[in-house]
Amino acid sequence: QSALTQPRSVSGSPGQSVTISCTGTSSDVGAYTYVSWYQQDPGKVPKLMIYDVSKRPSGVPDRFSGSKSGNTASLTISGLQAEDEADFYCCSYAGSNSYVFGTGTKVTVV
Amino acid sequence: EVQLLESGGGLVQPGGSLRLSCAASGFNFRREPMSWVRQAPGKGLEWVSVISGSGDSTYYADSVKGRFTISRDNSKNTLYFQMNTLRVEDTAIYYCAKEGTGRFLEWGQGTLVTVSS
């Protein structure tokens, strides 16, 4: 399984919106609604931000939203805040009880 | 509160073995599938293995299949990862994660495995 493709970095000013893409194939992202997103602060543990493409766990701000079209999933952060600066990873179920993560995107608040 | 505490990491030579443990608390351990996810230094996340709640079913990424074995002891609320024939490229932080359907709900703090001569 090849890693899902994400942009290496995205940036935005406070208050702006940024979108991170996550491109897979018809065998993973395109085949299932089990796409999740994780935020990882430097030296910290990944935190679930979005699951089932667009659902937010309790406690995750509604500034974070997810969507999917075909083989590409997206995470949008609206109203960007300084605390959102982190690495973000997408993940998709890939069938046969396996998962594949994305390459990771560094979000910078400029 | 869900807690996952990994242990067992360390420095090992190529070709060597290591067994990781993950002590779980705060949830009904025996009912939940559990995964190992690793992260090489400065790199991204990689799912490596999952085990069903009963322990009857196990699955592996191709990168570790045949070398690593996931298991669990539900009487001790503990997840294990036996890693044999270790390679330099297995160097990573290994996280145990509580799995929900299609997602990783809770993560441990991770344990660092370094494979080097």
| Segment B98-113, tens digit of pLDDT | 999 899 999 999 999 9
Contacts of A34 in chain B (CB under 8 A): 101-103
Between A32, A40, A98, which is nearest B47 by CB? Answer: A98
What is the Cα–Cα distance from B76 to B72, expressed in whole angstroms?
8
Partnered with residue B78 across adjacent β-strands are: B23, B73
pLDDT tens digits, B61-92: 999 999 999 999 999 999 999 999 999 999 99
Q: Is B47 on the interface with A (CB under 8 A)?
A: yes
- Cβ of A52 and B45 within 8 Å? no
- What residues of A are in the B interface, CB distance below 8 Å? 1, 3, 32-36, 38, 40, 45-48, 51-52, 57, 89, 91, 93, 96-104
Over 90: is that where the pLDDT of B116 sits?
yes
- Residue range A62-90, pLDDT digits in tens: 999 999 999 999 999 999 999 999 999 99
**CB distance B102–A93 less than 8 Å?**
yes
Q: Which long-range contacts (CB under 8 A, 24 or more apart) does A58-67 make?
A: A64/A37, A66/A35, A66/A37
Q: Nearest-CA residue of chain A relative to B63?
A: A1
What pLDDT, in 10s, does the model give residues B31-61?
A: 999 999 999 999 999 999 999 999 999 999 9
Inter-CA distances, A98 with B25, B29, B36, Å: 25, 21, 11
Measure A77 CA to nearest chain B CA, in Å: 20
Give the whole-angstrom CA distance, residue B47 versus residue B36. 6
Asked if A91 and B103 come within 8 Å (Cβ–Cβ), the reply is: yes
Q: Which of B45, B102, B108 sits opposite A52 (nearest CB)?
A: B102
Inter-chain residue contact B45 with A91, CB threshold 8 Å: yes
What does residue B15 show for φ and ψ, rounded to 5 degrees? 90, -10
Q: How near does any CA of chain A get to the CA of B47, in Å?
A: 6
